[in-house]
Amino acid sequence: MNTGVALGVVQNLVKRFRDLGEDELPAPLPKSGRPKLLSPRTLKVISRQVQSNPSLTAREVKERNPRLLSHISLRCVQQALHDDLDFKSFRACRKPLLTKRQKENRVKFCKKYELWDLETRRIMVAGNMFGTR
């Protein structure tokens, strides 16, 4: 059976487990490298804010959370958004609102064709999609 863990790693864990006794679990070994500045809880807060408002910049995220991110640099927030949360470095496009004239034209169009039966609509849509001769 392939678990994706090397056999030696499993053997060492089993040996440590047996040496400690069956009542205690072996303590995790200290990790190498610099520890992360942002906790999973802080990342979750940032993620929720960006998902609810995709046009937020990293600077705005930092300014909205002074208690959580006061000791964190702007670059660290940018890296967290990109590397940890998989948000890319572009803003979502603003979609333009309909003008008053466009709204009126839509209502006129709907009223004009609201009494058509389903078959007539299908013929018109098919003709518009594929062109008529």
Residue-level pLDDT at 49: 95
Cα–Cα distances (Å) from 123 to 86, 103, 129, in that order, read 45, 26, 10
Q: What is the pLDDT averaged over residues 27-50?
A: 91
Q: Please indicate whether residue 120 or residue 52 has the higher confidence score (pLDDT).
A: 52
Confidence of residue 130 (pLDDT cuts 50, 70, 90): low
For residue 132, pLDDT over 60 is answered with no
Report domain extents, the chain. 40-84, 100-130
Confidence of residue 30 (pLDDT cuts 50, 70, 90): confident
User: Residue 65 carries which side chain, given as an amino acid letter?
Assistant: N
pLDDT, tens digit, for every residue of 65-118? 999 999 999 999 999 999 999 988 776 677 888 999 999 999 998 888 888 888
b/e sequence 39-71, b meaning 16+ C-beta within 10 Å: eeebeebbbeebeeeeebebeebbeebeebbee
Could you tell me which of 87, 51, 45 has the C-alpha nearest to residue 68? 45
For residue 133, pLDDT over 60 is answered with no
CB 26 within 8 A of CB 20: yes
